[in-house]
Amino acid sequence: MDIHKILTLCDHTLLKPDARWEDIKELADEGIYYNTASICLPPCYVRKAKEYVADRIKITTVIGFPHGNQTKDTKVYEAKKAIEEGADEIDMVINIGALKSGDTDYVLDEIKEVRKASEGHILKVIIETSLLNDEGKLIMADIVSKSGADYIKTSTGFTGGGARVEDIKLIKENISDELKIKASGGIKSIEDAEKLLEAGASRLGTSKIVKICKANDKR
């Protein structure tokens, strides 16, 4: 697959806890230069980043990040605030403990509430595949399909696991036709990106693809 096409499907990401504004500016400059789908950054930088990029690139931010165990009301507030400050897309983490406790009604209701709060903006739901068995992944494929969200997303990248081709295939076979997949976490090469896209992902969350392109440009 053409590298330029892959870049247009990447959310160029920086979510490290020690990320400085200088780092966010660099992220934005890279995302604009390489024409990525968006830049994904911490909520505290959304307003400043929006002022910096204007309409040159879309801004994605995260809520309930990285563990997902904030209250439902907190996540709704985070989503509303992020959009008010300029976020174009929202990536939310589910309440993984509630899911593992069998409280699927809570998980679905929480996503629906965040969907309402983010109406008119793309919503991606992070299910943290590395913490789920196949049954849990299938349950979440069904829940997110019913929620009104735009994407189901594999990972935060903070639990030691990431996107796997077999998970993308499993999810793809068990979601609604309207729901898309964002593969995120552990994408370290162009080959990784190609395999995940071929398996059924239509968006990638990664910081590595732009770095690879930058390194190639310097040669």
Among 124, 153, 180, 208, the active-site one is: 153
Q: How many whole angstroms separate alpha carbon 68 and alpha carbon 153?
A: 13
Q: Which residues contact 200 (CB under 8 A, 6 or more apart)?
A: 168, 169, 171, 172, 181
Q: Decide if 182 is catalytic.
A: yes
Among 11, 75, 88, 91, the active-site one is: 91
For the chain, how far is it from start to end, CA to CA, in angstroms?
Answer: 21
Judged by phi (left if over 0) then psi (alpha if -120 to 50, else beta), residue 102 lies in left
Among 58, 182, 192, 208, the active-site one is: 182
Q: Where are the alpha helices (DSSP H) in the chain?
A: 3-7, 21-34, 46-53, 72-84, 96-100, 104-117, 134-147, 165-172, 190-199, 208-217
Q: If you count DSSP H runs as helices and E runs as strands, how many of each does the chain have, helices first?
A: 10, 8
Q: Decide if 2 is catalytic.
A: no
Amino acid present at 4: H
Q: Decide if 169 is catalytic.
A: no
Beta bridge partners of 36: none
Neighbours of 96 (CB within 10 A): 20
Q: What residues are annotated to the active site?
A: 91, 153, 182
